[in-house]
Structure 1
Amino acid sequence: MSPHRRSLTALVTALLAVALLPAVDASAADPSYAANSACQGQRLRVPAAERLVSHCLDDLTTAALLPRGLTDANDYGGLQAAGTVNPSHVPGVQLDGYFPDTSTTNALHGWNHDSQFVIRLPEHWNGGLVVAGPPGTRRQYANDQIISDQVLAKGFAYAATDKGNTGPELYKDGDKPGDAIMEWHLRVAQLTVAAKVVAAQHYGRAPTQTYAAGLSAAGYLVRWQLEHFPQLYTGGIDWNGLLLTRDAPNLLTNLPPALRAYPRFERREPGAAEAMYAEGYPKGSEDLWRAHRGLWDSLQRTIREELDPDYDGPVQGGTPFCPEGTGAGCDTDYDYASRPAAVHDAVERVSLTGRISRPLITLQGTYDVLLPITRTGDVYDKLVTDSGRADLHRYYRIENGTHTDGFRDVAPKAVRSMQSCFTEAFDDLVNWTRGGVAPPPSHTVPLPGERTANGEIPAGCTL
C-alpha cells in the first residue's frame, strides 16, 4: 500500500473515532437553536462540528428554503433547465454548520468559514442517506434542485459539503500542489461519517444504505470515494464527472485545445471546426461552444494553478483569455505533456484509477462540451474495465445531453435535459444495491421521442 493510501486510510479511521466524540452543543453554538422549541427538544449533534444551527421545517425542498435564507440561488443557478418541476412538501429538520478549518473562502451565512455543510432529515425516512459535494467552485447548496429535492422526496436523508475550499482562488488553500483538491475528498468522507451519526441520533438507527452522488467535479468525488473510502458507502452515481489521471487524456489536456481553436472558429478560419471535432467536441454541439468559452478558461486556469503553480511564475490563476501563441505562462498554450515530472506527480496524487469497490452508475452527455465524453466518461469506463471492476459499473452515454441542464436553454434544439436520467439511474442504483436487481447493461441512451413542433427535444429518459 502506498504511503498516500495509508494516510487516507488512517484519516478514515480517525474520522470514525471522531464520530464518537460530542460535537459543540447546538444550543450554545447559536441562539436561534434555543429559540426553536421543537428543534431544542431534538438536541441533535454533528460530530466535531464547530458551529451548528437547526431548523424544523414544513418543507425541506428548495422552493420553500429560498425565502427563508436556508439555501442560495447563486449556488444552484444554471444547473437545471428552465421549467423543470421539482418535488415539494417534504417536512423535516435542516442542520447548517461547519467543521474546523483555517480557510475562509465561503462567506455564506456571514460565517466566512470553510467546510460548511448542510444535513437534511426528512420526517418520513426510508433508512437511506445521500451525500454530495458541489460541482465546480460552488458551495454546499449547489445540488439543492438537482439532487437534494429529488432524493428527499423519495425519503432519503441528504448531506452536502462545500469541499473545504471554494471559488476561483481555491488553489490558495494548502501548502503544496494538489492539497486543495485532496481536502475535497477528506471533507466528503468527514461529512459522510458525521451524517450517519446524526441520522442515528435522529431516527434511532443508522442508515442501512449510503450513496455518494454528484455532478461534474462532484462526480469525480463520487468516483474517488468508491475507490478510496468504499467502506463508507453502498454505492454511487456520478453525472458528467471530470477526469484527472497522470496520463492523457485528462482535464489539463482537454481544455487548452478548445481555448486555441475556438477563437479561430469564431473568426471562421478554415480548419477551426475540424480542430474542435478532433479534440472531442462533437458535430452538432457548435451552438454550445460560445457559452462554454468562459468555463473552459476559468476551469483550466483554476485547476492548472492548483496542480502546476510554477507554469506562470509569480502570477496566480493565470491570465484570462490570453491569445494563442502568447507562449510560456499562457493557459491557452498549456502543454501538459511537456511539463516536468513533478507536475505529473502532483496530478497523479489526485488521479482516478477505476478501482471502485462499490456499485457505480455513470451518466454522461454526448454533447458535454466542458468535459468531452470521449476524453472523460469513455476513458473512466475503460479504467474501471481494465481494473477488473466492470461488474460494479454501469455507464450510460446520454445522447444530446450536455454538461449542465441549464445549457438546454441555450440550444433547445440540440440539447436534452438529463435530470430525469439522473432520477431514473438513482432508482436503478437503489434497486441494484437493495434488491439485487441489476440495472440495464451499459449503452448509449437514445433521444426520448419525436421532437416537438418547433424542433425541440422532449423531456424524459428511459435507460
Structure 2
Amino acid sequence: MSMRRRGPGRGRGQEVPVRLSGPLRRAAAAAAAFVTVAAGPAAAGDRGAAATADGHCAGMSRLRVPGAELQVRACLDELTTAGTVATGHTDPADWAGLTPAGLSVPSGVPGIQVDGYFPDSSTGNTDHGWNHDSQFVIRLPDHWNGGLVVTGSPGVREQYANDRAIGDWVVARGYAFAATDKGNTGTAFHRDGRTPGDAIAEWNERVTQLTRAARAAVAQRYRRPPSRTLATGMSNGGYLVRWQLENHPELYDGGVDWEGTLWREQGPHLLTFLPPALAAYPRYAAGGAGAEQARQELLAAGFPAGSEFLWPFHHQYYWDLTQRIYREELDPGYDGPQEAGTPFCAPGTPACDADYDYRLRPRSVHEAVAKIALTGRIGKPLITLHGTLDVLLPIGQDSDVYARMVTEAGRGGLLRYYRIEGGTHVDSLSDAFPDRLRPLVPCHRSALAALETWLDRGVPPPAGHTVPRPSAGEDPLTSCRLGP
C-alpha cells in the first residue's frame, strides 16, 4: 500500500525514569520490542540438509507460494527456535518478552521453511535486508498431522513474533505454520495507506492473502490440501482471528483468540480508555490528596482493581505510545501537522492525547474505526482467552464486550470464552511478579487442544468461565485446565 505523508513531530517530550528490577528490565525490553522493529537476521537461504525425493524436505523444489514476489526455500534439520536461532531463520528480537523465561523449547522437527514477501510499496520491515513489508514465513514439517495454523503478529512486530509462543508448539505437534508481519510494522506503521484506518485494514487483507497462499503451498508439499486450517494470535493477532472468522469463515475450521484487540465504532476501544488513564495516572503516582480520586478514575476507565502494581510499567512503556500511534492512524487531524502527538504531555497541553475524547471527534474519525470494526458475527468455532489483570487491553473493555457481541449476534454457540485469573497482557511480566501473575501461554495451548477435540469429535469445550490460577503443586508454565 502507498505511504501517507505526514509532517515531522515538533517535540519528543520527557519520559519519567523508573527504577526497574531485573525481571522488569527484561519486560521493558519486551515492551520496546512490542512496538519497535529490530534488525532482522541474516538473509535466509537454502541452508541445512539437502532435500531428497522422499522423506526429509520432499517436494521442496516444486514449492511456489502463490502471489509471492519473493520466496526463499530452505531445508532445515530443525524448524523450532531450538534450531532457527542458529541458522538465522527467526529473529529473537521479534519474539523477545512474549513468553516466560522458563518456557521449554521443543526440538526434533525437520522440514522446509519458506521466507518471502508479497507485493507491497511500504518498506518498514528490514528483516533479511529486504526493506519490504508483507513478509511471511511458512514452515512445513516432514511429519505432518494434516493441519495448518495461520497467525498474524502481535503489536506492530514482524513475522517471527509468534515463533516462541505459538510456532514452536504447533510445528512440534505436526502442523504446518504460516505467519505474516501484517503488511506494515514498527511505531510508524500509521504512515502506510492513503486514508485513516488503511494500515490496520491491510492487516486483515494480509492474513487472508497468506491463508490462501499457505493452503496452496501445503497442498504442493504434501500433495493434498490441509484437512484443518486454524487461525490464532495474541493481542492484534487475536483481533485478526476474530475478523477472519467473521469475514472469511470459509477459509478456516476454527480459531483461538488470545486477548484480541477490540475495535468497534461506538467503542470501547483503545482510544476511549487510554486517554483517561494518561490523564489520571500522573495524579495517582504523585500521591497526596488527589491520588485516590485519580485511582477511581482509572478504575472507571476499566483498569481492574488489584492491577495497580502494573500501572507504573504500563504508563511508562505502553499507554502513552499506544495511544499516540493508534490515534495517529485513525485520527491524524487531531494534532494537525504534528506526527503522533507529544509523548507524556500534561492535560491542557495543545493537542495532548491525555485530553483526547473520541466521542467528540468528527464523523470521519468514527468512519475510520468502522472500517476495521468487529461485529461478533463469527462463522466458525472460536475460543477466546483473556487475563483478568490485563492493563493494556482491560478485560472489561475488550473480551467481555466481544463475548456479548457474539451472543447478541446469535453466534454464542460457536464461542467459548475463558477469563484467565491472574493473566496479564505480556507473559514476561509473570517472571517479575510470580506471586501475582500467571502466564497465558499454557492456556493458549490448552485452548488449541480443546479446539481440536471440538472439531474432531464434536465435543464442545466446557462452558465459558473464569479459570482459576494453578493450584499448589501445579506448574504455571505447563498447567492450565480449562475444565473443572
Matching residue of 2:372? 350
Mapped partners of 2:314, 2:123: distance in 1? 28
* Residue matched to 1:437: 459
User: Do residues 42 (structure 1) and 60 (structure 2) align?
Assistant: yes
Q: C-alpha distance in 1, partners of 2:267/2:50?
A: 56
Instruction: Give me the whole-angstrom Cα distance separating, in 2, the residues matched to 1:67 and 1:325.
Output: 51
Which of 223, 248, 254 is the matching residue for 1:229? 248
Query: Residues of 2 paired with 1:238 and 1:49: CA distance?
Result: 27
Cα offset, 1:278, TM superposition: 1.8
Distance of aligned partners of 1:110 and 1:398 in 2 relative to their CA distance in 1, 3 Å threshold: same
Q: Does 1:412 align with 2:434?
A: yes
Match for residue 93 of structure 2?
74
Q: SS of the counterpart of 2:418? A: strand
**What does residue 139 of structure 2 align with?**
120
The Cα of 1:141 is off from its aligned counterpart by 0.2
Tell me the CA shift for residue 164 of structure 1.
0.5
Name whichever of 316-325 and 171-180 sits farther off. 316-325
Q: Using the alignment, how far apart are the partners of 2:130 and 2:147 within structure 1?
A: 30
Change over 3 Å in CA distance of 1:94–1:281 after alignment to 2:
same
Deviation track 1:395-441 (CA, whole Å, cap 9, x = no partner) reads 00000100020111232221101111000000111111122111110
The 1:451/1:372 distance shift into structure 2, 3 A limit, reads farther
Identify the residue that residue 274 of structure 2 maps to in structure 1. Answer: 255
Amino acid of the structure 1 residue aligned with 2:337:
P
In 2: Cα distance, 1:427 partner to 1:341 partner? 43
| 2:44–2:115 contact (8 Å) kept in structure 1 | no
Q: 1:252, 1:304 within 8 Å by CA — same for their partners in 2?
A: yes
The answer for the alignment partner of 2:323 in structure 1 is 300
Distance in 2, Cα, partners of 1:343 & 1:458: 42
- TM superposition score normalised by structure 1: 0.90
- Partner Cα distance (1:79, 1:69) in 2: 19
Q: Distance in 1 between matches of 2:215 and 2:454?
A: 21
Q: Structure 1 residue 324: deviation in Å?
A: 2.0
Q: 1:136 is matched with which residue: 155, 159, 164?
A: 155
Q: Tell me what 1:316 maps to.
A: 339
Which residue, out of 386, 397, 407, partners 1:375? 397
Partners of 2:412 and 2:252 in 1: CA distance: 18
Alignment CA distance shift 1:459-1:210 (3 Å): closer
Note the alpha carbon deviations across 1:80-108, whole angstroms, 9 max, x for none.
01111132221111110011110000000
1:52 aligns to what SS in structure 2?
A: strand
- What's the counterpart of residue 229 of structure 2? 210
Q: What CA distance in whole angstroms lies between the structure 2 residues aligned with 1:118 and 1:80?
A: 20
- For residues 473 and 426 of structure 2, the distance between their equivalents in structure 1, rounded to whole angstroms, comes to 20
Q: Which letter maps to 1:206? A: P
Deviations 1:315-337 (A, max 9, x none): 1111111112224x211111101
TM-aligned CA deviation for residue 457 of structure 1 = 6.8
1:398 aligns with 2:420: yes
Looking at structure 2, the residues matched to 55 and 80 of structure 1 have their Cα atoms a distance apart, in angstroms, of: 27
1:366-403 C-alpha deviation (Å, 9 max, x unpaired): 00000000000000000000000000000000001000
How far apart, in 1, do the equivalents of 2:394 and 2:176 lie?
33
* C-alpha contact (below 8 Å) 1:450/1:458 kept by paired residues: no
What SS does the aligned partner of 2:292 have? Answer: coil
- 1:108 maps to 127
SS of structure 1 residue aligned to 2:428: helix
Counterpart for residue 363 of structure 2:
341
Partner of 2:215: 196
Give 3-state SS (helix, strand or coil) of 2:193's partner: coil
Relative contact order, CA 8 A, sep 6+: which one is greater? 2
CA distance in 2: counterparts of 1:150 and 1:33, whole angstroms: 24
Alpha-carbon distance in structure 2 between the residues aligned to 1:434 and 1:103 = 41
Once the two structures are superposed, residues 38-83 of structure 1 have per-residue CA deviations (whole angstroms, 9 ceiling, x without a partner) of 2696221100111111111111111311121111111101100111
Would the alpha carbon gap of residues 74 and 35 (structure 1) be closer, same or farther in structure 2, given more than 3 Å must change?
closer
* Structure 1 counterpart SS, 2:348: coil
Give the number of equivalent residue pairs.
430
Q: 1:457 to 1:430 in 2, by over 3 A?
A: closer
| Distance (Å, rounded) in 1 between the aligned partners of 2:292 and 2:421 | 28
Between 391-400 and 46-55, report the one with greater CA deviation. 46-55
Unpaired stretches in structure 1, ≥5 consecutive residues: 1-29
Question: Given the superposition, is the C-alpha separation of residues 54 and 459 from structure 1 closer, same or farther in structure 2, using an over 3 Å criterion?
Answer: closer
Aligned match of 1:326 in 322, 346, 349? 349
* Residue segments in structure 2 that go unaligned for 5+ positions in a row: 1-42, 52-56
